[in-house]
Amino acid sequence: MPMRWAIVGCGDIANKRVAPAMVEDPNSELVALFSNTPERAEEMRERFGAQRAYSDLDTLLADTQIDAVYIASPHPRHLHETAACAAAGKHVLCEKPMAVTTDECEQMIAACDGAGVALAIAYYRRWYPKARAIKRLLEEGAIGAPIRARIRVGGRWNPAREDWKHWRVTAQSGGGALMDVGSHRLDLICYWLGKPTRAAGLMSRLVMDFEVPDTETLVCEMDSGVHLTCECQWNMRLGSDEMEIHGTDGSIIATPFDGPELVLRTVEGERAIETEPKDANVHLPLVASFASRVGACEPPEFDGVDGMQASRIIGAAIRSHAGGRREEA
């Protein structure tokens, strides 16, 4: 029997990736949509052939023909909606970043654990063949002992006030590019190199007139001892997507990370690592993995604790900037 899904939040990601993934995956069935704007839910219901559209969350969660909920709403709503889903006995696959604060992440984990339902966070880049290849290279010792990692990501983004995405550059969002696009790359670092221990951050608004920082820099020490530096910005016309891991015997260069390039550099020279292309719909492997594993009463491949690690780094960096000191992650 396929996993019977509802989607909470009918924005771009739900329309362009999540719903199409559920329609394509043979182990999934899209049953219902929820939006605070009824017209959006009804429009998606018609487009993707779902059975029902809701504008009241409690009514959706009372639907006994729903097994799991994909939460595609803005992250300030994630804690409340995850807790409500857990209380109703629904499994949860939640958009990133996991929540506004680490404390909220921990409450989400506790709610799902207490209800005996699965929780995972939609860091879909973990399913890129390129990401899996980097994991294999590290496990094989291709660069010796990892010692340093570097992320640089961002561009120029300044949504108009009438743009529905403008909330992402207001104080409500809890952060700027680091919270938004940086969280994806931080999650990958945790996937490859383990949990964080402590971090320090600097956050400034140098160019833009929105409420969140447009320039963010952090340093983080991983539990393995690896030093991470991460630079994020929303004020540069020339964007960047740089990812590097350096070890005692070589380096892995995955720049741009969203591109196909993957290079291994050692004392013997440099060689390109061939990988399969990522899926046309990058959410499909994420949804398919959750549906097959949780549907078989297995834990998700990556759970809520995994999904919280990027938020731990970001939270420590924010606290460090506010207090002028390094913070435990």
Asked whether 3 and 67 are in contact (CB, 8 A), the reply is yes
Tell me the one-letter amino acid at 33. L
> How many distinct helices (H) and strands (E) make up the chain?
11, 15
Length of the chain, in residues: 329
pLDDT of residue 81 exceeding 90: yes
> How far from 277 is each of 47, 193, 219, 302, CA to CA, in Å?
28, 23, 31, 22
pLDDT the model gives residue 244: 98
| Domain spans of the chain, in order of start | 3-123+282-301, 125-279+310-328
Q: What is the mean pLDDT of residues 148-152?
A: 98
Confidence of residue 175 (pLDDT cuts 50, 70, 90): confident
Backbone φ and ψ of 229, nearest 5°: -120, 140
pLDDT of the residue at 19: 98
Does domain 125-279+310-328 correspond to CATH entry 2.30.30.40? no
Whole-structure pTM value:
0.96
How high is the pLDDT of residue 34?
98
Q: Mean pLDDT throughout 54-83?
A: 97
Residues β-bridged to residue 270? 265
Higher local confidence (pLDDT), 325 or 122 = 122
- CB neighbour class for 299 (10 Å; exposed up to 12, middle 13-18, buried from 19): exposed
Nearest Cα to 253, choosing from 123, 125, 151?
151
Q: What pLDDT score was predicted for residue 238?
A: 92
pLDDT-derived band at 166 (thresholds 50, 70, 90) equals: confident
The pLDDT mean for the chain works out to 96
DSSP state of 144: S
Q: What is the pLDDT of residues 251-273, one digit of tens each?
A: 999 999 999 999 999 999 999 99
Arithmetic mean of pLDDT, 299-311: 98
pLDDT score of 168 more than 90: no
CATH fold of the domain at 3-123+282-301: Rossmann fold (3.40.50)
Please report, as a single letter, which amino acid is at residue 98.
M
The Cβ of residue 76 has, within 10 Å, a number of other Cβ atoms equal to 15
**Better-scored residue on pLDDT, 156 or 168:** 156
Q: State the average pLDDT over residues 233-239.
A: 94
Q: Is residue 167 very low, low, confident or very high in pLDDT (cuts 50, 70, 90)? A: confident
Confidence of residue 224 (pLDDT cuts 50, 70, 90): very high
Contact 204, 321 (CB under 8 A): no
Q: How far apart are CA 28 and CA 258, in angstroms?
A: 27
